[in-house]
Structure 1
């Protein structure tokens, strides 16, 4: 995956997280949502983890991913993407099976993480040479 495309995906994710954080913190509800699930998810007890709003965690996560992409720290980028995928999956499971609704913006953020992780893994596989070693020289 080209770094600029990956960074563009992460910037979209960052903007989604910022939008959700501002909507939740300032307006006490999601301003624009294509379905009714956003407010329900945002007002649920699962919208905070140890008192920290989930969108704030998303902001810091996407900032980390952007910086890792800019500075081409591939190993940490892959690990961070895996952690982001696990965290996003956890949140989607809670949304679907416990809260029993789906937030459009949360789903979009999950898809951004999923797509970039899959493309990152695909790129890693391409870099493996016949001996099974990763060739770090290939971009």
Structure 2
């Protein structure tokens, strides 16, 4: 006795089988190329952060279509334990690259070692991707709500970190999803707590307004601000000018020297602190950020300013913080040089 199977049922079953095969093929493809893809993403992140680290240590200008990158990279949030944040990002991407390629470097004959490496580095990739994505997310939050500037490098790093997190999950079979979720929650919590603890000091004022004194010269050493700049104004200049600072400032103005600054730039603030409040009032300085007080961004664009502070003295441009002695030499100043303040490490 035979029974005919409806054609609709046969067609439906064939369609489901086809879908399952496609899913298996897709998952197999992801598993096969997960590590090379993650290694490529990590390498790209490594190149970006290494470049930013070089720029930070060399105090050169970063290649950016706007001055927003300099605003972000010179903010108090761009330093961690006194070192460029990009250096830690560089180390993070380097670690992810090593985790991604480690099992691929083991010969096929060493199956047991390769399997162990695949398991542990897979977990490390997930943990690292989670931590990097959470930390990058916090930095994007700072860009939007605090610094209010769009840095293409920071956005790119956030996208790369998120990509690493996604590929660490979908690129392999996880036997215990619950355990994976629990591990991810712990890593996310530790990252959030650690990040808030590290950056908590950024919003705290300096304990004392008294500047440290250099034992050799007896000069006071101006400090990097540790608070957020006030919107449109920046940090308050707290130093009092001496006769030498005022005299130099008047000379610079008479000779047509100009200082280009951003009110969000800590280096610009230290340059202002070197002169003091009274001398600063005599200087010809130009605010380049559009929402700054008395801003003249058109002059900065015309002068093609890419790094701040920048000095225009006798038609030549000098980038970065400058000692008052050097400004005196460059401008031909012959007056009193008994300056009260100095830059760190000078």
Fold equivalence (TM over 0.5): yes
TM-score, normalisation: structure 1: 0.84
Q: What's the CA shift for 1:87?
A: 1.1
Deviation at 1:66, TM superposition (A): 0.6
Q: Is the 8 A contact 2:38 2:167 kept in 1?
A: no
Could you say what the CA RMSD is over the residues aligned between the two structures, in angstroms? 2.0
Distance 1:132 1:51 in 2: 39
Q: Does 1:13 align with 2:45?
A: yes
The Cα shift of 1:55 comes to 0.4
- In the alignment, the residues of structure 1 paired with residue 37 and residue 163 of structure 2 have an alpha-carbon distance, to the nearest angstrom, of 11
Alignment deviations for residues 62-114 of structure 1 (CA, whole Å, 9 cap, x no partner)? 01101111124101111011011111111111111100011101110110111
Report the Cα distance in structure 1 between the residues aligned to 2:129 and 2:49, rounded to whole angstroms: 16
Deviation larger for 11-20 or 89-98: 89-98
User: Is the 2:42–2:93 Cα contact (8 Å) retained in structure 1?
Assistant: yes
Q: Which among 44, 66, 74 is matched to residue 97 of structure 2?
A: 66
Moved >4 Å (runs of 4+): 131-134
Matched ranges for 1:100-119 at <5 A: 100-119=148-167
User: What SS class does the counterpart of residue 10 from structure 1 fall into?
Assistant: helix
1:128 CA drift (Å): 4.2
Q: Flag the structure with more relative contact order, 1 or 2, with Cα contacts below 8 A and sequence separation at least 6.
A: 1
Q: Decide which structure has greater helix share.
A: 1
Give the 3 Å change call, closer, same or farther, for CA 46–128 of structure 1 in structure 2. Answer: closer
Aligned partner of 2:73 among 39, 42, 49: 42
Q: Partners of 1:53 and 1:66 in 2: how far apart?
A: 21
- The total of aligned residue pairs comes to 130
Gaps spanning 5+ residues in structure 1: where? 135-139
Query: Is 2:168 the counterpart of 1:120?
Result: yes
8 A contact 2:71–2:149 mirrored in 1: yes
Contact 1:35 1:104 survives alignment (8 Å): no
TM-score (norm 2): 0.35
Q: Which is further off, 115-124 or 94-103?
A: 115-124
Secondary structure in 1 matching 2:171? helix
Write the deviation string for residues 48-71 of structure 1: whole angstroms up to 9, x where unpaired.
122121100111100110111112
For the residues of structure 1 that align with 2:43 and 2:127, how far apart are their CA atoms? 19
Distance 1:96 1:27 in 2: 25
Q: For residues 83-94 of structure 1, what are the structure 2 equivalents within 5 Å?
A: 83-94=131-142
Q: Which runs of 5+ in 2 are unaligned?
A: 1-29, 103-117, 180-346
